[in-house]
């Protein structure tokens, strides 16, 4: 469940960041509002980078634990119904 919460937070942060960029690009913000939006964007960018670095680290750990694992194709979902 914690992984889903982290993913939701990452997706929310990305959506908020996209919204901030759109607002700033619109040119309708005052200088003060633009600076605040920029500051928020930097914070969100750092949060997203940290989340992605943590995910990358987990992937590396998993790959190191299963070095001999053979790649498997992804199922398209139909196989789960037959199991």
Q: What local confidence, expressed as pLDDT, does residue 68 receive?
A: 72
What's this model's pTM, rounded to 2 decimal places? 0.64
Show pLDDT as tens, one digit a residue, over the chain (83 residues). Answer: 466 777 778 899 999 999 999 999 999 999 999 999 999 999 999 999 998 999 899 888 888 887 776 777 877 655 544 44
Q: Tell me how many domains the chain contains.
A: 1
How many CA atoms lie within 13 Å of 74's alpha carbon, on the beta-carbon side? 2
Would you state the pLDDT for residue 2? 66
How much is the pLDDT for 65? 80
Question: Do the domain assignments include residue 14?
Answer: yes
8 A C-beta contact, residue 40 and residue 20: yes
Is 60 part of any domain? yes
Scored b (16 or more CB within 10 A) or e, 37-51 reads beeebeebeebbeeb
CATH of the domain at 61: 1.10.287.1040
């Amino acid at each position: 469940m914690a992984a889903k919460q982290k993913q939701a937070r990452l997706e929310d942060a990305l959506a908020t960041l996209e919204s901030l960029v759109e607002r700033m690009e619109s040119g309708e913000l005052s200088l003060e509002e633009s600076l605040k939006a920029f500051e928020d964007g930097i914070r969100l960018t750092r949060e997203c980078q940290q989340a992605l670095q943590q995910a990358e680290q987990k992937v590396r750990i998993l790959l190191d634990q299963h070095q001999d694992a053979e790649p498997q194709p992804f199922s398209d979902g139909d196989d789960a119904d037959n199991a």
